[in-house]
């Protein structure tokens, strides 16, 4: 039981606690909050991945249509050109958009390592408030000494709850 | 079963909507809001009104299944279509449903990008509307194929016939636009639901519900990482959904514009169809939120401000649609093509004239009452006008599809069209399926986007505090 889950009433309380805990050299911190927290963490890479997937989908689809209508199955419709590139744009756009959406969705599950139906932190009774109005920080330490140090420090920060859990 | 709202969902702003209502009641806290929305999804017994609405809708859904079964047995000869009107209810209802779905996406994606605060509490309802509207639309293209078991010929796939689909045809664009739109809608909707499923999971007491909502939440716990990527991915998805929704309805318009039929062959069609999507979208969302805010006791989250904004937007889209109708008439007579003129005269004065003037009355004239602020907040008036606009949009599609086809270029090919029982039963069936889906969503899903509401409540509180401070 070397890990601790501490809850706070407000975002400000949590942010203050995070600073103090980091100053004390406790690094393995996870926050569980009912809304986004600005932590100065670097931005997400997902938009870039979605953009790349969208572009790739657009190009691949365009090339496939060109191959189909120009090389594999050219069809003369009133003498119109086989390589009618403007007519290929709508489907290429749609397929590109679909690729970007799928990349964003699957990418999200990948970078967040979801689905993860069980986590030791679920054992804490107070944890249910994390999706309502409680702002939580979990300190996952390897040794009892650091856990004791964290608990002493947490007691000075007016948490609403502190619970120990095994992780 | 109790028809009144239960304690957990009692609204603290139980009064008539007013135009100066805040977008969310300042007395609402993130805790009380979360508890009330979760209580709706977790309620043990359903509301009486829910059963009263659900049973007939389920009956209509069964009628849809019966109609489809008979259609697959007997073929599309059971419908009223024949030469020259070979596109009937299937196409016009498809376009009508796609417009309704698109309206939902416009509220949920486009107004997300503009940062409109009023979008937050009605976003989930609009997204549910988009999902079930797209589902209702999505079955029609399959049904109207003479040989529906060959629908997969539209995909790219290597085959022993060495055939390829014709990529230069707008009808194929339409297929891809619909496939993209339906799948993208599901992904967008589900990603936005993850944090709310987590909230419901954490409020659930019964082990079965904990498991079901736990599986749906996929282990979302609100870590820094999960929020960071969620916001990024959701924002980009909204930015993709906005052009996709414009593209799908434009492409539906191009299905028509690409044909050399009088009344269809016009470059005006893509924007004209998007205007129609706006009008039907705002109408349906108003028709849904007005009863729901009362029945679920969420009048302090969906306030007079929402009604006021949505009615203004409905009026705007009605003006856009009116402009399109005017231009339709203008280009016909300015263009000087004889067949176009004959068709348009028939449309306005001929056999289907009631459809045309009904469209003008319901879509252009009646919404003008929303110039009055008092009527923008009068709920019975809003419901009547929106119902008329929804019917008017259907009539508009009828007018475009049927009256154009019944007067083609060759007078020897002129004819009329009437729907049969199976046309009507399929249409009513899709209405039942749409409403069944909405009712299930209202009952079992968090019907207000709680994680976005928390941000809205926090910013509103901060703004009010700043106002009070000198």
Backbone φ, ψ for residue B415 (5° rounding): -165, 180
- B160/chain A closest Cα distance in angstroms: 13
Q: Is residue A124 part of a domain?
A: no
Please report the pLDDT score of residue A40 as a whole number. Answer: 62
CATH number for the domain harbouring residue A157: 3.30.70.120
Q: Is residue A91 part of a domain?
A: yes
Q: What is the overall mean pLDDT for chain B?
A: 91
pLDDT at B46: 85
- The tens digit of pLDDT for each residue in B24-56 reads 988 899 999 999 999 999 998 888 999 999 999
CA–CA separation, B422 and B443 (whole Å):
31
Cα radius of gyration rounded to whole Å, chain A? 26
Cβ contact (<8 Å) for A32 and B195? Answer: no
pTM of the model: 0.93
Does A59 lie in the same domain as A19? Answer: no
pLDDT, tens digit (0-9, with 9 covering 90-100), for B374-396: 999 999 999 999 999 999 999 99
Same domain for A81 and A51, yes or no, is: yes
Residue B6 clears pLDDT 80, i.e. is over it? no
Shared domain check, A50 and A28? no
Q: Is the dihedral of CA B28, B32, B34, B36 positive or negative?
A: negative
Chain A CB contacts of B454 under 8 Å are 34-35
Nearest to B229 among A46, A75, A84 (CB): A46
Averaged pLDDT score across all residues of chain A: 89
Closest Cβ–Cβ partner in B215, B223, B458 for A117 = B215
CA within 13 Å, CB half, B269: 24
pLDDT for B10: 45
User: Which letter does DSSP use for residue B442 in this model?
Assistant: H
Q: Which residue of A91, A126, A165 is the best one to mutate when testing the B interface, meaning the one whose CB has the most B CBs within 10 A?
A: A91
Distance, in Å, from the CA atom of A151 to the CA atom of B415, rounded to the nearest integer, reads: 85
Residue A40 zone, left/alpha/beta (φ > 0; ψ -120 to 50; rest): left
Residue A127 domain-assigned (yes or no) = no
Alpha-carbon span B400 to B337, nearest angstrom: 18
Instruction: Please determine, for the modelled complex, whether the ipTM score is greater than 0.90.
Output: yes
> What does the alpha-carbon distance between residue B54 and residue B157 come to, in Å, rounded to a whole number?
41
Q: What integer pLDDT is reported at residue B314 of this predicted model?
A: 97
Residues A12 and A56 in one domain: no
| B80 Cβ neighbours under 8 A, 6+ residues apart | B88, B89, B417, B418, B419, B420, B423
Is the Cβ–Cβ distance between B278 and B310 less than 8 Å? no
Residue A71 falls inside a structural domain: yes
Is residue A120 in some structural domain?
A: no
Number of domains observed in the structure of chain A: 2
* Whether A132 contacts B204, CB under 8 Å: no
Task: Verify that A78 and A102 share a domain, yes or no.
Answer: yes
| C-beta separation of B194 from B220 below 8 A | yes
Domain assignment of residue A90, yes or no: yes
Does A150 lie in the same domain as A103? no
Angstrom distance (rounded) from CA B435 to CA B418: 26
Question: From CA B288, how far away is CA B275, in angstroms rounded?
Answer: 20
The 10s digit of each residue's pLDDT in B204-248 is: 999 999 999 999 999 999 998 899 999 999 999 999 999 999 999
**Cross-strand bridge partners of residue A135:** A8
| Domains by residue range for chain B, with CATH | 27-146+165-468 (1.20.1630.10)
B250 in Cβ contact with B95 (< 8 Å):
no
Determine, yes or no, domain membership for A76. yes
Task: Name residues of chain A where pLDDT drops below 50.
Answer: none
Asked if B458's CB is within 8 angstroms of A119's CB, the reply is no
Instruction: Looking at the structure, tell me whether residues A53 and A22 fall in a common domain.
Output: no
What pairing do the DSSP bridges indicate for beta strands A161-165 and A29-32?
Answer: unpaired
- Residue B191: which of A41, A98, A108 has the nearest Cβ? A108
Q: Indicate yes or no: CB of A131 within 8 angstroms of CB of B236.
A: no
Same-domain status, A51 and A102: yes
Polymer length in residues for chain B: 470
Cβ(B191)–Cβ(A108) under 8 Å?
Answer: yes
Same domain (yes/no): A59, A26: no
Domain that holds residue A61: 46-111
pLDDT value at B15 more than 70? no
Quote the CA–CA distance of A132 and A33 in Å, as a whole number: 8
Residues A99 and A54 in one domain: yes
Top pLDDT among B441 and B14 is at B441
Q: How far is CA A141 from CA A5, A150, B314, B447, in A?
A: 11, 9, 57, 39
If you count residue pairs, one on A and one on B, with CB atoms under 8 Å apart, how many are there?
A: 188
Using only C-alpha atoms, chain B has a radius of gyration, in whole angstroms, of 23
Phi, psi of A162 (to 5 degrees): -135, 125
- Is residue A40 assigned to a domain? no
């Amino acid at each position: 039981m070397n890990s601790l889950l501490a809850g706070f009433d407000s975002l400000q309380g949590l942010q203050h606690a995070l600073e103090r805990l980091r100053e004390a050299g406790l690094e393995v911190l996870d926050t569980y909050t009912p809304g986004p927290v600005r932590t100065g963490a670097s931005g997400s890479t997902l938009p870039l991945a979605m953009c790349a997937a969208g572009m790739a989908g657009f190009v691949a689809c365009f090339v496939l249509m060109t191959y189909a209508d120009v090389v594999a199955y050219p069809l003369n419709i009133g003498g119109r050109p086989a390589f009618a590139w403007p007519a290929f744009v709508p489907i290429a756009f749609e397929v590109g958009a679909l690729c970007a959406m799928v990349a964003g969705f699957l990418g999200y599950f990948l970078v967040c390592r979801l689905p993860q139906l069980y986590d030791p932190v679920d054992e804490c009774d107070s944890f249910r408030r994390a999706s309502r109005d409680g702002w939580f920080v979990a300190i996952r330490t390897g040794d009892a000494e650091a856990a004791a140090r964290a608990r002493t420090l947490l007691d000075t920060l007016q948490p609403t709850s502190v619970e120990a859990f095994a992780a | 079963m109790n028809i009144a709202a239960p304690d957990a969902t009692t609204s603290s702003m139980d009064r008539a909507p007013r135009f100066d209502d805040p977008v969310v009641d300042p007395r609402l806290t993130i805790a009380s809001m979360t508890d009330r929305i979760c209580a709706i999804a977790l309620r043990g017994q359903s509301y009486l009104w829910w059963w009263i609405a659900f049973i007939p809708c389920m009956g209509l859904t069964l009628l849809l299944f019966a109609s489809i079964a008979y259609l697959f047995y007997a073929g599309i000869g059971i419908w009223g279509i024949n030469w020259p009107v070979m596109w009937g209810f299937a196409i016009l209802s498809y376009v009508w449903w796609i417009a309704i779905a698109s309206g939902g996406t416009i509220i949920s994606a486009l107004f997300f990008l503009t940062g409109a605060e009023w979008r937050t509490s009605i976003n989930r309802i609009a997204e549910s509307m988009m999902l079930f509207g797209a589902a209702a639309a999505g079955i029609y293209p399959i049904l109207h194929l003479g040989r529906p078991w060959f629908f997969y010929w539209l995909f790219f796939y290597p085959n022993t016939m060495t055939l390829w689909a014709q990529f230069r045809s707008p009808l194929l664009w339409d297929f891809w636009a619909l496939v993209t739109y339906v799948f993208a809608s599901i992904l967008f909707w589900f990603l936005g639901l993850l944090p709310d499923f987590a909230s419901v999971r954490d409020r659930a007491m019964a082990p079965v519900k904990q498991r079901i909502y736990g599986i749906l939440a996929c282990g979302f716990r609100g870590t820094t990482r999960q929020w960071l990527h969620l916001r990024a991915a959701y924002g980009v998805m909204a930015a993709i959904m906005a052009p996709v929704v414009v593209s799908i309805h434009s492409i539906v318009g191009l299905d028509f514009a690409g044909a050399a039929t009088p009344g269809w062959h016009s470059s005006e069609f893509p924007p004209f169809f998007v205007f129609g999507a706006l009008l039907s979208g705002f109408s349906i969302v108003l028709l849904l939120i007005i009863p729901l805010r009362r029945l679920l006791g969420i009048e302090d989250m969906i306030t007079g401000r929402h009604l006021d904004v949505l009615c203004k937007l409905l009026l705007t889209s009605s003006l856009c649609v009116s402009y399109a109708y005017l231009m339709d008439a203008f280009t016909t007579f300015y263009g000087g093509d004889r067949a176009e003129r004959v068709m348009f005269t028939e449309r306005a004065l001929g056999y289907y004239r009631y459809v045309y003037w009904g469209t003008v009355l319901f879509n252009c004239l009646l919404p003008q009452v929303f110039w009055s602020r008092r009527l923008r907040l009068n709920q019975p008036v809003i419901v009547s006008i929106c119902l008329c606009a929804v019917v008017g949009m259907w009539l508009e599609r009828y007018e475009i599809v049927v009256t154009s086809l019944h007067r083609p270029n060759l007078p020897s090919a002129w004819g009329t069209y009437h729907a049969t029982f199976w046309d009507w039963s399929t249409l009513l069936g899709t209405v039942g399926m749409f409403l069944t889906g909405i009712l299930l969503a209202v009952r079992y899903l968090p019907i207000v986007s709680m994680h976005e509401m928390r941000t809205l409540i926090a910013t509103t509180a901060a703004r009010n505090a700043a106002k009070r401070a000198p």
